[in-house]
Amino acid sequence: MIRQIIGQAKKHPSLIPLFIFIGAGGTGAALYVLRLALFNPDVSWDKKNNPEPWNKLGPNDQYKFYSVNVDYSKLKKEGPDF
């Protein structure tokens, strides 16, 4: 398959940017899914030792990828401890 892509790139050099952007998009999507699987508190890989990891989040823990208007370091806790 890689040989075919290289062969097409040699025959049609205008396809090289297409291959680069498709590869970068696929790599970015794979890295984002990996980030969600490893660092998102909704995903529990170790159900024996930590069955509910979302309960251990503090009010100033940022787990979103991008936050527009919220500064998580200045938030105060507004609920009871469980």
Per-residue DSSP letters for the chain? -HHHHHHHHHH-GGGHHHHHHHHHHHHHHHHHHHHHHHH-TT--S-TTT-S-GGGG--TT---SS--SS--GGG----S---
Where are the chain's structural domains? 1-38, 44-81
Q: What percent of the chain has pLDDT over 90?
A: 28
pLDDT digits 0-9 by tens, 61-78: 666 666 677 776 776 766
pLDDT of the residue at 80: 66
Model confidence at 44, pLDDT cuts 50, 70, 90, reads: confident
pLDDT of the residue at 72: 67
